[in-house]
Structure 1
Amino acid sequence: MRAIWKGAVAFGLVNVPVRLYSATGEHEVTLHQVHKEDGGRIRYRKFCSIDGEPVEMSDIAKGYETDDGELVVLTDEDFKSLPLSTEREIEVLEFVPVDQVDPILLQKTYYLEPEKTAAKPYALLRGALEQADRVAVVKVALRQRESMAILRVRDNVIVMQTLLWPDEVRAADFPVLEEDVSVRPQELAMAASLVESLAADFDPSQYEDRYAGALEQLIEAKVSSGSTRAVPVPAGEEGAGDGGGDVVDLLAALQRSVEKARGSRGEEPAAEADEKPKAKAKPKKAKADADEDEPTPRKTRRKAS
């Protein structure tokens, strides 16, 4: 895993340097939008709605439209001026019972790994959380946004789960629920009996994403049957697929750098040096031997394009 954030947990007078890792990842088959006829990828470009011209990312700012129709444009410099008091710090505010944290508030989950020099204070905080049987309410700044979060212990690791702010939870305004509905005791008893018949200890490992599995099998079957086509390359982009253009540009830049360095030392340019007789090359492998080498079979499971 790759750390996405470095900072410290401020636990009273104790400072625990930590690294933050994303604890979850969605399992899905990556699909692209393509043209039915020729398989070309569907591209999207950003255009200005006023002049119709394409806009580069460097020319894009964020805007806020007021209730009376005025526009406020915010630049990167504006955002840099905003205070983030908890930047690079996870500030512990209080410790609360876990059942007081409504699950609807829970968002993204992260693992906290201590720096090598912080193993002891990390263990101290972990032990305090376990002994108190409470979670720590904290504030942290991630991706230029201040968030509430909780710290808890899972499998000997301190886990941080970000929370929604209270005003981000919508009210359930359903008039139908205010109607007077009568439930007979027999019906309630039957429902309770059904619940009891399906009662079990929760084990998420026994469940699987059947749709994703079936989609992977469908793709594999098409690959095995040869129902594939070469990925088309748009005109003007030949050789640039999978970053090929960057490689070519890099090689050209390196070649120019080498020739410039040779010229500064008074050496012959590479083109002239190539015209000199070369050492005798080693004999190539016999064609018969080459024909015996079979191409490596490609994998049958790959992402759809």
Structure 2
Amino acid sequence: MENELMRLHTQPETRLTVTRNPEVDQQSTSSAFIEANTLSVSLSELQQDHIIPVYVKDNEPLVSQYEFIETTNAIVSSIFKGEQILSPSIRCSHPIKGRIPDAKDKPANQLQDWEKTLYYERMMFVIEIPSIYDTIEGNKLNLTIGGVKAYNLDNLYNKKGAAEHFKVFIGFQNTVCTNLCVRTDGFLGDLRVSSSEQLHSAIYQLLGSYDQHLHLSHMQSLAEHSISEQQFAQLLGRCRMYPHLPSAQKKQIPELLYGDSQLTSVCRDYYKDVNFCRQEDGRINLWKLYNLFTGANKSTYIDQFLDRSVNALDFSCQMLDAVKQASTMWYLG
């Protein structure tokens, strides 16, 4: 494992140079990496003010969202010792409100703060390392680690020792727009563990197996190829058709996890996005198109956000292969 972790920092670079800049701001960007219906929450608030769900059968607690973040933060601090590491940025959604037993008969408008209980069903966080970065098309990309804890994925009607669900990733954040760039080998989408120790081990292994240079190389390649306005129109139409195809036909076509609302955002921003809109002749390179998809993904709920992030890059790379080889792709006609 030690060799794998060293590779994360020292693997020979064939196309891109990952630059380390120790003189960076201590504060992370105030822009949200995910929007949807989420709220910004501080780490201290998670620790001090939010109750922890328990298993119904034995009243034992699940791994708390605070513990998940602290475990990840400790691993990041250990592996990337000496790098600039920003404090976690946390977004939560789907509040679960309650009250203490002594206040069960009080009208809601008469409840005191200390009589109320709260936790959020879904939480996502990112830890940014701006001293490890690269630039594509003038967009600065910072190495970023994070995860999702969504209690709606867990079976709370169980007892301690049952598997809990987590999502963990390592990738890059585009500082121009705070879009997250996540690749398959940097993502654990269905991590199931029954203890904090297992969680720690899984996160450690993920960070050790991630190939940041290959990830950057793939994204750089997207910037080198474009599609025409006609191809974009064909792509968007076929993307809207995809969910309604017969199941047998879907199996022969690259999967797309984006729905109508996200595709509407992609179409709008093709014309209007300041950073990633089309050229004057209607052409758009695949790096910009990829960012239109990751930007549209910000309207996704927390529990599906990372899956769509990975899907955006997979989908864009499949388009890249079709454009490079001048081959047929169903979405492009």
TM-score bracket for this pair, using the shorter chain length: under 0.3
Which one has a bigger Cα radius of gyration? Answer: 1
TM-score normalised per structure 1: 0.21
Select the structure that is richer in helix: 2
